[in-house]
């Protein structure tokens, strides 16, 4: 009787161990977590306004800065991108904002510049193009080089956008506050309230109303330019009105 009990217990243990081994050896299905989508670069409303104001100065945009991504803004951005070696997307990506000189937010600085934002100068040759005689090819290359050189000489070098310093913005805010054209604090930031005050000042001074603190507005306010700003203004004047 005892032997039978021991035999039954032994058989039960063998079956239990076999079942445990089978469970342990069977693979567990683990669902892979889907990869995170890359962050999308989006400009702020204030950044769009700054770009619209700069485009307006460059005659690439005619409406008032609204901070809205409209068709006219996209057309102006494409023209700017074309002139600055950027891919003509009509969107304010990181490379375009940096080319405008617009300050990025902390979250935007975490997103790297896309290689697709930079226009490629080297275009691949067309496949299946028949080879031409060497003499004609040389003449064509010489003519093309001469035409490119002439075009580069005729096209004036584009100057970087004018940017006022924080101290200059503070001085302008203080002056406009004394003239009741601005009611905010002297922050040194070119915000919407400051731009509205600049428009009032420019309109009252008979200047072009842009809402930006350009060199002409600073001089009209009696605020001194930095040495670099003076040099850039002189270079821009020489480029616009070249000496014969």
Q: pLDDT tens for residues 160-190? A: 788 899 999 999 999 999 999 999 999 999 8
What is the secondary structure of 18-59 as a DSSP string?
Answer: HHHHHHHHSPPP-PPPPPPPPPPP---HHHHHHHHHHHHHTT
Alpha-carbon distance of 39 to 138, in angstroms, equals: 49
- pLDDT(78) > 50: yes
Helix ranges, 155-226 (H): 166-178, 192-204, 215-221
Mean per-residue pLDDT for 143-157? 55
Compute, in degrees rounded to 10, the torsion defined by CA atoms 192, 225, 101, 172: -10
Secondary structure class of 86 (helix, strand, coil) = strand
CB-based contacts of 236, cutoff 8 Å, min separation 6 = 159
Instruction: Please give the pLDDT value at position 154.
Output: 56
pLDDT of 67 strictly over 90: yes
- pLDDT for res 185: 93
Backbone angles phi, psi at 132, to 5 degrees: -105, 160
* Residue found by looking up tokens 């200047």 in the block: 207
CB 222 within 8 A of CB 176: no
Average pLDDT of span 100-120: 90
Question: Dihedral sign, CA of 139, 145, 149, 154?
Answer: positive
Percent of residues, the chain, with pLDDT higher than 90 = 51
Helix (H/G/I), strand (E/B), else coil: 118: strand
Classify residue 90 as exposed, middle or buried by CB count within 10 Å of its CB (0-12, 13-18, 19+). Answer: middle
Average pLDDT value over all residues in the chain? 79
């Amino acid at each position: 009787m005892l032997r039978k009990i021991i035999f039954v217990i032994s058989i039960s243990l063998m079956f239990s161990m076999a079942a445990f081994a089978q469970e342990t050896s069977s693979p567990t299905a683990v669902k892979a977590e889907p990869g995170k989508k890359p962050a999308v670069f989006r400009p702020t409303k204030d950044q769009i306004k700054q770009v619209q104001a700069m485009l307006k100065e460059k005659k690439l945009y005619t409406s008032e800065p609204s901070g809205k991504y409209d068709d006219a803004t996209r057309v102006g951005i494409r023209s700017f991108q074309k002139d600055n070696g950027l891919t003509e997307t009509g969107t304010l990506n990181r490379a375009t904002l940096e080319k405008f000189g617009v300050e990025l937010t902390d979250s935007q600085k975490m997103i790297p510049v896309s290689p697709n934002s930079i226009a490629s100068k080297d275009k691949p040759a067309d496949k299946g193009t028949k080879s031409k005689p060497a003499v004609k090819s040389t003449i064509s290359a010489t003519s093309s080089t001469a035409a490119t050189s002439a075009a580069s000489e005729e096209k004036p070098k584009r100057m970087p956008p004018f940017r006022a310093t924080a101290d200059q913005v503070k001085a302008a805010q203080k002056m406009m506050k004394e003239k009741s054209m601005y009611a905010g604090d002297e922050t040194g930031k070119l915000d919407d309230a400051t731009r509205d005050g600049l428009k009032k000042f420019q309109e009252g001074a008979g200047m072009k109303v842009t809402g930006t603190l350009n060199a002409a507005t600073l001089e009209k306010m009696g605020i001194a330019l930095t040495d670099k700003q003076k040099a850039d203004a002189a270079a821009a004047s020489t480029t616009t009105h070249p000496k014969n």
